[in-house]
Chain A
Amino acid sequence: EVQLVESGGGLVQPGRSLKLSCLASGFTFINYGMNWIRQAPGKGLEWVASISSSSSYIYYADTVKGRFTISRDNAKNTLYLQMTSLRSEDTALYYCGRSNYEVLDAWGQGASVTVSS
């Protein structure tokens, strides 16, 4: 069974940093691209970042470019999102998603990030 489990969320002050992790299991992690998608409270889904299987290709939404860094450790079956210079508008549930040609065919349950003083 494919499983994606996010961790590392929490309450953080504006301007500070936070790192999310997503532990993958049930599939060959190195064969898939991975993504972060977020959902602000009461709002729709917003794609955040994508990384190819070998980390050769990385893409970011303009809203996070220069502040967030997506990375992966294929030996640990883990995806990361390093978030810096956090803003109140970054408050959201952050989902990890597996992609197959940019189609998100598996999702985690999400990690909650609240940016507030």
Chain B
Amino acid sequence: DVQMTQSPYNLAASPGESVSINCKASKSINKYLAWYQQKPGKANKLLIYDGSSLQSGIPSRFSGSGSGTDFTLTIRSLEPEDFGLYYCQQHNEYPLTFGSGTKLEIK
């Protein structure tokens, strides 16, 4: 199984700042990495797929990069609604596996 190691576990930032969240796969997953946002009371939201493709309807301040084993989600100019939990997931092979999550909090 592909293990996904996500960092940092917690992240505190202020609105307007930029942040990056990292995800490392235990073996190459080519470009097949997705990022999701989780917020209380809302359905989980797909942000990025195929490493860097922006899901329809997601603001362009979200971007993804990487391939092989190392990936990054970057959020530029944080908005108040961006705070929450973020998960990476490899979609290269079964079993599908997720990172452990990053909690993005307001500083």
Binding site for B on A (CB under 8 A): 4, 35, 44-47, 50, 59, 61-62, 95, 97, 101-109
A46 to B92, CA, bound (A): 16
Give the chain A neighbours of B99 by CB distance below 8 A: 44
Q: Which residues of A are found within 8 Å of B95, using beta-carbon distances? A: 47, 59, 61-62
B43, A102: Cβ atoms under 8 Å? Answer: no
- Whether A102 lies near B101 (C-beta < 8 A) is no
Give chain A's interface secondary structure class.
strand
CB pair A59 B44 closer than 8 Å = no
* Chain B residues close to A by CB (< 8 Å): 32, 34, 36, 38, 43-46, 49-50, 55, 87, 89, 91-92, 94-101
Known: A102-B92, A104-B34. 17 other contacts (CB 8 A): A44-B98, A45-B36, A45-B38, A45-B87, A45-B101, A47-B89, A50-B94, A59-B94, A59-B95, A101-B91, A103-B34, A104-B46, A105-B46, A105-B49, A107-B43, A107-B45, A109-B43
**Closest chain B CB from A50 CB (angstroms):** 7
The distance from the CB of B53 to the nearest CB of chain A, in whole angstroms, is 9
Beta-carbon contact of A103 and B91 below 8 Å: yes
CB nearest to A100 among chain B residues: B49
Q: Is the pair B55, A106 in contact by a Cβ cutoff of 8 Å? A: no
Report how far A44 CA is from B36 CA in the complex, Å: 12
